[in-house]
Structure 1
Amino acid sequence: MKGEKRSSTKKKPVDMVTLQVIMNALHSITDEMNMALIRTAYSTNIKDRRDCSCAIYTPAGEVVSQTELGSPVHLGIMPSALDNVFARFRLEDLEDGDHVIVNVPFPTGPGHLNDITMVSPVYIDGKIAFLVANMAHHVDMGGYAPGSMALGLREIYQEGLQIPAVKIVKKGIIDRELMSFIKQNVRTGIEVEGDIHAQMACNNVGRRRLEELSKRYGVKVLHEYIREMFDYSERRVRAGLKTIPAGTYTFEDYMEGTALTPDLIKVKVTITVTQEEILFDFTGTDPQVNDSINSNQACVNTACYYIVKVLVDPGLPPNVGSYRPIRIHAPSGSCINAKPPAAIGNSTIITAPKVVDVLLGALVQAVPERAAAASNGVTSLFNIGGLDPRTGHLYNYIETYAGGQGAMHNQDGMDAVQCHMTNTRNAPVEVIESTYPLIVRSYGLVPDSDGPGRFRGGLGMRREIEIQSEKTTLTVSTDRSKLKPWGVFGGLPGGNSSCFIAHSDGQVEKLAYSKMTRPIERGEVVTIVTPGGGGWGDPFTRDPERVLRDVIEELISPERAREYYGVVVERKGYRQFQINRSETDELRSRRFKVQDS
């Protein structure tokens, strides 16, 4: 992140009304950019799932404003992608009409090769006044297997095409040779080209709107207010930190391994909170591994930025000022700050969510009323690619499946939701079946996958997909198949993940690892089950009426209600249940007597 010098001269009083108007105008521009990208995108992953994000920066690369329609994991990473641009280009080398793309994650940059970032200068009166940027997940970047996020890889060179910061458009003219080179090195060239054009359109929208805003206020006035925005956000973060008890909080959790690295992989954090700053120290985290579940520093940064925003000040206008009180130490060579040429294809879906869980586990000790039990702890990847018999072309279906949200001190976790830093949507079944040679056999919640508690964790989901293509490769990358999402303050763990393949001979195979890439045959059916969320508080103190409602809605079974919640629910007819009050009171009192003895 680029630093900045603050003037020691006395500043003029700021008109707070104008400040809010400008702040919201900039925010509106980023939202419009994001919608332009979604509406012009070619791939299902962007136009339907909305796996993209946009932001505005100063010419020095400082975050000015970010869309709320995008993905937090993208938004915290994008400043590092801009650092890659600055390492390759001087500011004066960026000309009006240029679009620069980059996807290399080292030494800093996007979290994996699929996340192509596009950066464009905004010229006002012959000078660069702003930079606009977007990041979008492309469905394939070449490499060993369809989707470019395969497991079983030791180096990033196996994962796909690396694009250093390079101008895809020069003075408004598209570099056709570069575009052809990119298309030749990916499996789904038409989709990738279409999505790159959508990224261009997105930044062009940002340019036009910033030109209009500059005409209204003037560039000088805008930048004066932007500096005040930075200071305003910094003040709010520092004020918010004062509401967290000063101290040191430690927590550790584990990622599950792969066939190459079967051992559990520890992620540890020590958080030190003072009245002015917050330090995240990941000393004690395990070294990088020989598979694609490492991450770079950028993924750690975005997890820390996210946690500060949601726990300190959820309404905070995110910009470079909000980052000033944050200090991050991720040991070089660790699994969360790997050295090249480490494979990091699963960093944003496996490693970054694990970092968030670890941060929550530490800070729930400090501010239990703001934090939560563990959510599903992973952005469960389901990727199928092969030859589409309907068209004769290669295809790649990628989706990250939702899971249960961790419970909070006053509410249940949501069922089957994208938790924390993803913010993407699910692909509609109709879109999947019309776009890809796939049949969705079933799709729904997983009963009894909640983490029992006074407030229960959310349920995971299950989806069954039948393969209708040839020469097909499956990549599944999830977590929590062995170590369930933890509960807090007496809450119990949520359900675990699993994946099965039903073969044509009727045999059902459970995958040995939660993360693997393998061939799959036409006619086989893949079932993926995502984790639930952890519970909050003793489940025997849950309101029996809430337990009854969950039974009626078939979220939990009567057996689970009795065993885990101490509520005896009796069936009286089809979907008709009632609580046996006397047996419930006796069951609960018996448990509490045992605890008191």
Structure 2
Amino acid sequence: MAKIDGITLEVMKNSFYTIAEEMGVTLIKTALSTNIKDRVDCSTALYTKDGELVAQAEHVPLHLGLMPSVVKEVLKMFPEEDLKPGDAILINDPYISGSHLPDIFMVSPIFHEGKLIAIASNVAHHVDVGGLAPGSMSVKATEIFQEGLRLSGVRVRKEGALDTEIIRLLKSNVRTGDEVLGDIYAQLAANSVAEQRLKDLIDKYSLEHIFNSMEEIINYSDRRMRAAVKEVPDGEYEFEDVLEGDGITEDDILVRTKVIVHGDEITVDFTGTNPQTTGPMNSTIGVTSACVYYAIKSLLEPDVPPNAGTYKCLNIVAPEGTIVNPKFPAPVSNANLNTSQRIADTIFGAMADVLPERSMAACSGTMTGFSIGGYNQEEEKYFSYVETYGGGQGALDDIDGMDGVHTNMTNTLNTPVEVIEQSFPFTVKNYCYIDGSGGPGRHRGGTGLQREIQMLEDGFSFTLTADRAKYQPWGLFGGEGGQTSQCTLFTSDGEEIKIKSKETRTVQKGDSIRLQTAGGGGYGDPKERSREAVERDIALCFISEEQAEKEYSYKK
């Protein structure tokens, strides 16, 4: 391989990342569902022809961490000699792709002068793929077959021509066929952009230069990551945390993590974690791996370019048959939202004592999945509203946690109130931060948020998939836990019903659902918080004067 100087490497790295980002813009701007065009619940990336990650857009960490395993598996099913220019492959099978069924991946080979040169791939969270409940994430599923339509690698486009039979199959198995197909077409468009932009680069440089640059970018990330690992003292660091039930029972589910640092490699071992659950809280090995990649990179070298080289120094031990590596056909739909976050929490917790200045107190600990679906009488069609709600970020050594945001394994946006009321038969009664919900500390945990939605028609199904309703997100080094989450149903006849953190039920016209997410944990002794910071919190209503006196020993 010809030597590539640092300046040229930086130019090529940014060229590849620009392709991935433009893929994302195309997908978002051309999508039909609010979940993608408004919430940006999608991710895009560029790979070598062998399926090695080269560049990814700054999208959802969970998607991006598990997509490499998807691409590798697709290439096993469709080896190079079986692929043709213009092909595009759909896959969402969790036991192949590693995610849950609503995450549909689009994998497209890129050819130049008849030879395979790269792979473009993206993933979009579709608002429905069938199954027991609208949104396809029922908390009552006990096997994968109940969660929706499984696509175990099918060509939706063959040599440039759409397969109308696959399209018809898709549309007839989901509640919101027009939206799903609209988003599928957006995914196709995104990968077409990657193909054109990569060919532009080849015309500007050469195919050999492109190949050499891809290889060197991957090697560069590997060198930087291994150097960062060497700075961490060798040793074994452990932590454990729990999930609050699987939707079938409310029994605690243990996630136990040991991080082993040795030289320039790290092993993350989940031995001792609970067996797989009956309900859909099982994290496939792809999801578990994505959590490890994210947490270790965030702790050790957040600025290293994320690609295949970034993770070569990481090893994962996830015993088969446990909640972090279940056996088929265990249901998995809600692990993305909850189990993934707990896996990340335990890695941060394990490394807190050895890397205190880089660690973070527990965040809200769940993506708080919230979906409502049914038949819209006015528009005479089915709808599916899918959203995940942010909460409080855990505080760090030198800064307060952010308020009402997505953290760790997700970074999607919220759906604006105006879009909700324009697109669905609801009205939003309120949307705000929850005062006083952040954990006290020298640095305060971020606050949770509250949204209350009222139904305008009868007979809708809603599903909540949340956590941290029983146990507070923990603080670090004397910091206290954040406020727990809760959900309340206010019926049209005045009844007030506490909703479990994992529940599917029917709601009627006039009912309203108030969802409150957890706050983040605090960092450091609250009594060490500066008077100026406490007074600012009081002025901004993040805490009351009574809280300031009780939790921070504040006196006027």
Alignment match, 1:179: 167
Give the superposition deviation at 1:507: 1.2
Q: How far apart, in 2, do the equivalents of 1:212 and 1:507 lie? A: 63
Alignment match, 2:69: 80
Give the superposition deviation at 1:79: 1.3
Whether contact under 8 Å (1:360, 1:372) holds in the other structure is yes
Alignment match, 2:463: 475
CA deviation map 1:187-230 (0-9, x unaligned): 00000000000000000000000011111121112111211111
Give the superposition deviation at 1:19: 0.9
Give the superposition deviation at 1:110: 3.6
Give the superposition deviation at 1:12: 4.2
In structure 2, relative to structure 1, the CA distance for the partners of 1:314 and 1:259 (3 Å cut) is closer
Q: How far apart, in 2, do the equivalents of 1:282 and 1:350 lie? A: 17
Q: How far apart, in 1, do the equivalents of 2:237 and 2:473 lie? A: 20
Whether contact under 8 Å (1:354, 1:377) holds in the other structure is yes
Q: How far apart, in 2, do the equivalents of 1:302 and 1:442 lie? A: 35
Equivalences for residues 106-117 of structure 1 within 5 A: 106=95, 108-117=96-105
Match of 2:521 among 506, 518, 534: 534
Q: How far apart, in 1, do the equivalents of 2:283 and 2:292 lie? A: 14
Which amino acid in structure 1 is aligned with residue 22 of structure 2?
E
Do structure 1's residue 33 and structure 2's residue 26 form an aligned pair? Answer: no
Whether contact under 8 Å (2:2, 2:212) holds in the other structure is no
Match of 1:401 among 389, 393, 396: 389
Give the superposition deviation at 1:83: 3.0
Alignment match, 1:59: 49
Q: How far apart, in 2, do the equivalents of 1:12 and 1:145 lie? A: 55
Give the superposition deviation at 1:556: 0.6
Q: How far apart, in 1, do the equivalents of 2:10 and 2:541 lie? A: 47
Q: How far apart, in 1, do the equivalents of 2:32 and 2:305 lie? A: 31
Do structure 1's residue 335 and structure 2's residue 311 form an aligned pair? Answer: no
Whether contact under 8 Å (1:389, 1:470) holds in the other structure is no
The SS at the match of 1:252 is: strand
Tell me the TM-score normalized by structure 2. 0.99
Do structure 1's residue 554 and structure 2's residue 541 form an aligned pair? Answer: yes
Match of 2:292 among 304, 311, 318: 304
Whether contact under 8 Å (2:246, 2:280) holds in the other structure is no
Alignment match, 2:348: 360
Whether contact under 8 Å (1:258, 1:516) holds in the other structure is no
Whether contact under 8 Å (2:48, 2:119) holds in the other structure is yes
In structure 2, relative to structure 1, the CA distance for the partners of 1:388 and 1:410 (3 Å cut) is same
Match of 1:524 among 488, 495, 511: 511
Q: How far apart, in 2, do the equivalents of 1:179 and 1:86 lie? A: 22
Q: How far apart, in 1, do the equivalents of 2:210 and 2:226 lie? A: 24
Give the superposition deviation at 1:469: 2.6
CA deviation map 1:374-433 (0-9, x unaligned): 000110111000111220111010110000000000110000011112110000000000
CA deviation map 1:52-111 (0-9, x unaligned): 10111111111111111x1111001111212331232122211001111100011x3141
The SS at the match of 1:33 is: helix
Which amino acid in structure 1 is aligned with residue 527 of structure 2?
F
CA deviation map 1:452-503 (0-9, x unaligned): 0000100000000001133210100110001110001000000100000001
Q: How far apart, in 1, do the equivalents of 2:296 and 2:334 lie? A: 24
Give the superposition deviation at 1:544: 1.3
Percent of matched pairs sharing the same residue: 44
Equivalences for residues 185-200 of structure 1 within 5 A: 185-200=173-188
Alignment match, 2:266: 278
Equivalences for residues 56-205 of structure 1 within 5 A: 56-68=46-58, 70-106=59-95, 108-205=96-193
Match of 2:502 among 492, 515, 530: 515
Match of 2:431 among 431, 443, 449: 443
Q: How far apart, in 1, do the equivalents of 2:329 and 2:353 lie? A: 37
Whether contact under 8 Å (2:176, 2:384) holds in the other structure is yes
RMSD: 0.9
Whether contact under 8 Å (1:271, 1:278) holds in the other structure is yes
Whether contact under 8 Å (2:246, 2:278) holds in the other structure is no
Give the superposition deviation at 1:259: 4.7
Q: How far apart, in 2, do the equivalents of 1:427 and 1:434 lie? A: 11
CA deviation map 1:115-140 (0-9, x unaligned): 00000011112100000000000000
Do structure 1's residue 544 and structure 2's residue 534 form an aligned pair? Answer: no
The SS at the match of 2:8 is: helix
Q: Detail structure 1 runs of 4+ shifted over 4 Å in the superposition.
A: none
Whether contact under 8 Å (1:258, 1:514) holds in the other structure is no
| Greater Cα radius of gyration, structure 1 or 2 | 1
Give the superposition deviation at 1:275: 2.2
Give the superposition deviation at 1:261: 2.2
Give the superposition deviation at 1:308: 2.0
Q: How far apart, in 1, do the equivalents of 2:470 and 2:310 lie? A: 37
Whether contact under 8 Å (1:409, 1:536) holds in the other structure is yes
Q: How far apart, in 2, do the equivalents of 1:126 and 1:16 lie? A: 31
Q: How far apart, in 2, do the equivalents of 1:521 and 1:288 lie? A: 35
Give the superposition deviation at 1:327: 0.3
Which amino acid in structure 2 is aligned with residue 63 of structure 1?
L
Give the superposition deviation at 1:258: 4.1
Match of 2:554 among 567, 573, 584: 567
Alignment match, 1:506: 494
The SS at the match of 2:430 is: strand
Whether contact under 8 Å (2:98, 2:285) holds in the other structure is no
Q: How far apart, in 2, do the equivalents of 1:212 and 1:47 lie? A: 27
The SS at the match of 1:470 is: coil
Whether contact under 8 Å (2:52, 2:68) holds in the other structure is yes
Whether contact under 8 Å (1:83, 1:109) holds in the other structure is no
Once the two structures are overlaid, the 10-residue window that deviates more, 218-227 or 351-360, is 218-227
Q: How far apart, in 2, do the equivalents of 1:181 and 1:226 lie? A: 38
The SS at the match of 1:357 is: helix
Match of 1:314 among 288, 302, 315: 302
The SS at the match of 2:128 is: coil
Whether contact under 8 Å (2:48, 2:214) holds in the other structure is no
Q: How far apart, in 2, do the equivalents of 1:105 and 1:51 lie? A: 17
Whether contact under 8 Å (1:496, 1:531) holds in the other structure is yes
Q: How far apart, in 1, do the equivalents of 2:194 and 2:154 lie? A: 20
Which amino acid in structure 2 is aligned with residue 553 of structure 1?
L
Q: How far apart, in 2, do the equivalents of 1:110 and 1:252 lie? A: 23
Give the superposition deviation at 1:551: 0.8
Tell me the TM-score normalized by structure 1. 0.92
